[in-house]
Amino acid sequence: MNPMDYTIEKFISEKEIKDKIAKLADQINADFDGKEIVAICTLKGSFVFFSDLIRSLALPVRCEFLGLSSYGNQTTTSGEVKVTLDLNSQIEGKHVLIVEDIVDSGITLQFILKYLEARNPASISTAALLSKPDALKVDVDVEYVGFEIQNQFVVGYGLDYAESLRGLPYIGILHLEE
């Protein structure tokens, strides 16, 4: 990818993200008071949000990683979700918190919910930093949503464009040059 092929419009600042995570963490701490949770980082996009969120939680947290891919190098979902890395411990009887960077069509989250529900956790809920209500194609519940956004292609803070730009500390809107 040539850096001249796109521009990035600053969209959600580091400060706004930090403040939002503190609010989400307060809700999660209250809802799971006295319980241990298994937080599941859905790779790759969630790793930055995940690391900030778990450090804001005041609960006992076990961390698990689930590798998934559906977009490849495209800007729209292929609709086919692939598991690229599975959990390495049991979640039966545990309180599971799926941590997603973004719920777009909802197809990935729907897949994850089905995939993990089959392992009989005590409960399963989802935190997503970003959600695009207008892009949803399936019915999925997200208990903890950071920001609801329009149907724009966002990058940074873990989100990529063709595997680049995950390291931006803020969230930007990607504009591709014609």
- The residues assigned a catalytic role are 104
Smallest separation (angstroms) from ligand PRP to the CB of 46 = 6
Shortest separation between residue 48's beta carbon and ligand PRP, angstroms: 11
> Per-residue DSSP letters for 122-159?
SEEEEEEEEE-GGG--S----SEEEEE--S--EEBTTB
Q: Sort strands 82-85 and 95-103 into parallel, antiparallel or unpaired.
A: unpaired
Which residues are near ligand PRP by CB under 6 A? 42-45, 68-71, 77, 100-109, 160
Cβ-closest position to ligand PRP: 45
In the bound state with ligand PRP, the residue whose beta carbon lies nearer, of 59 and 142, is: 142
Q: Min. distance of Cβ 92 from ligand PRP in angstroms?
A: 24
What are the φ and ψ backbone dihedral angles of 7, each rounded to 5 degrees? -125, 155
Burial code (b: 16+ CB inside 10 Å, e: under 16) for 28-58 equals beebbeeeebbbbbbbbbbbbbbebbbeebe
Question: For the stretch 120-153, what's the b/e string if a residue is b when 16 or more beta carbons lie within 10 angstroms of its beta carbon?
Answer: ebeebbbbbbbbbeebbeeebebebbbbebeeee
The nearer residue to ligand PRP, 52 or 104, going by C-beta atoms, is: 104
Instruction: Report, in Å, the least distance between residue 38 CB and ligand PRP.
Output: 18
- CB-wise, 57 or 155, nearer to ligand PRP? 155
Q: Are 79 and 137 in contact (CB under 8 A)?
A: no
CB nearer to ligand PRP: pick between 71 and 170: 71
- Name the 3-class secondary structure at 60: coil
